[in-house]
Amino acid sequence: MLTTSLLKPLVAYTAVLLVLLCAAPAFAQGQNCQNGFVLSLYQCLSNRSIDRENFLWLTRNGTLGREPADLQTFTSRVCIEESGLVMCVKTADLLSDRDACRQTLASDLSQCYSNRMFSGQDYLLFNLTSERDAVLGTNATDVARFCKERSSLMDCLKTTALNCNDAPIMLRSFGLDFQALNDTYNVLCNYTTAYMDETICFRDESQMFSSCRDEVAVKLPKLEMELAELNITDDEFTMEICNLRFDHIECEMTAAQQMNDTQKCPDVVVGLRWQQECMLVPYECRVKNPSRLADVCRTEEFRLPERESYKKSNASVMLGVSFYVYMVQFVLVAIYLNLEVNK
């Protein structure tokens, strides 16, 4: 016989399935969600080689489905899969109750950027493999405008999230922390000279940077598949994602240093990028693996003291260039006027 702990939840979940199946015509607007739930439940059974018709017969007291050819063997087979099957069906059940805004939250958050005519900066929000090389923009005009509007942008993001009940779950899946994002914007906006040089350094198409991103692009889908098939727990998945994030930071920073191009990638510029990536490490990763955080995100690597002088020296250079251009223009005007007078 099925154990009581298995029979009760499976009967309950199967009942939910039947309600969805029978009521589907009356709830056309929820058809996609219903179909998703049914497919998820059937996938749970299929992944464990459990015949769904036999399963329905067993859990519905023979009123639905088909009787197993060998009831005792089939019952034993289901009991062996008890723990994994119940967990899998619970996951599928949660999908049927999800807030509709789960489907639109990413695009709704992106709208905060597009409404302000910031094209592409929203990629920072959702993708672990994003090339974070143009967080504020790629030219001085766009950067200045972004920094000016960043407060209203953050207000929009937070308001949008508050309007979605499942936002905390989704933000966790994005690895997104609004406070960390805001702090990152503030730091970059305070050092726009170094930031602009950062965009030049890290937009390099070198094999070293590409290999770092390719590694994440390969590993991330595998982790997601492991979680979907319940081969790893939620906590294990989070830990692996965190390790992947830390590995990615180390890989890119090492690649930048190995380029050995102090003109294109000065230490100060690499340090700013290092701080940027460390600030964007999700809160859960900080809590779950503080030792790895401390090892990867060493403050001395951020080059904070040098950054101030870098900012001033570059500003002085720009001031000198501007003064030189002004003087050339002044001399040319004087020569022109002198020629006009002597005509």
Question: How does pLDDT run across 165-181, given as a tens digit for each residue?
Answer: 888 877 877 778 888 89
For residue 108, what is the enclosing H or E element? Answer: helix 105-114
Q: Work out the end-to-end distance of the chain between its first and last CA atoms, rounded to an integer number of angstroms.
A: 115
Under the banding of pLDDT at 50, 70 and 90, the label for residue 45 is: confident
> Side chain identity at 221, as an amino acid letter?
P
Percent of the chain whose pLDDT exceeds 90: 22
Q: What is the pLDDT of residue 91?
A: 60
Q: What is the pLDDT of residue 174?
A: 74
Task: Tell me 218's DSSP state.
Answer: H
Instruction: For residues 109-133, give the mean pLDDT.
Output: 75
Q: What is the mean pLDDT of the chain?
A: 74
Going by C-alpha positions, the residue among 177, 168, 34 that lies closest to residue 102 is 168
Going by C-alpha positions, the residue among 224, 243, 219, 206 that lies closest to residue 131 is 206
Residue 48, pLDDT above cutoff 60 = yes
Q: Do residues 95 and 89 make contact, with C-beta atoms less than 8 angstroms apart?
A: no
More confident residue, 43 or 115: 115
Locate the domains of the chain by residue range: 4-97, 102-318
Q: Do residues 267 and 309 make contact, with C-beta atoms less than 8 angstroms apart?
A: no
Instruction: For residues 258-286, give the mean pLDDT.
Output: 87
Going by C-alpha positions, the residue among 225, 329, 247, 234 that lies closest to residue 293 is 247
| C-alpha span between 241 and 223 (Å, rounded) | 8
Under the banding of pLDDT at 50, 70 and 90, the label for residue 333 is: very low
Q: What is the pLDDT of residue 38?
A: 54
Q: Do residues 16 and 78 make contact, with C-beta atoms less than 8 angstroms apart?
A: no
Q: What global pTM score does this model have?
A: 0.61
Quickly tell me which residue has 């969805």 as its tokens: 20
Q: What is the pLDDT of residue 19?
A: 39
Q: What is the pLDDT of residue 2?
A: 47
**Alpha-carbon distance values, 233 to 91, 167, 223 (Å):** 12, 21, 11
Q: What is the pLDDT of residue 56?
A: 73
Instruction: For residues 227-254, give the mean pLDDT.
Output: 85
Q: What is the pLDDT of residue 279?
A: 92
Tens of pLDDT, residue by residue over 66-99, are 788 888 888 888 888 777 776 776 665 554 445 5
Q: What is the pLDDT of residue 131?
A: 60
More confident residue, 340 or 16: 340
Under the banding of pLDDT at 50, 70 and 90, the label for residue 40 is: low
Percent of the chain whose pLDDT exceeds 70: 67
Q: What is the Cα gyration radius of the chain?
A: 29
Q: What is the pLDDT of residue 10?
A: 55
Residue 59, pLDDT above cutoff 90 = no
| C-alpha span between 75 and 73 (Å, rounded) | 5
Q: What is the pLDDT of residue 331?
A: 47
Q: Which residues contact 99 (CB under 8 A, 6 or more apart)?
A: 164, 165, 166
More confident residue, 180 or 333: 180
Per-residue tokens: 270: 């690499």
Instruction: For residues 214-224, give the mean pLDDT.
Output: 80
Residue 154, pLDDT above cutoff 50 = yes
Per-residue tokens: 81: 């899969």
Q: What is the pLDDT of residue 236?
A: 86
Instruction: For residues 204-228, give the mean pLDDT.
Output: 77
More confident residue, 264 or 314: 264
More confident residue, 193 or 38: 193
| C-alpha span between 40 and 292 (Å, rounded) | 36
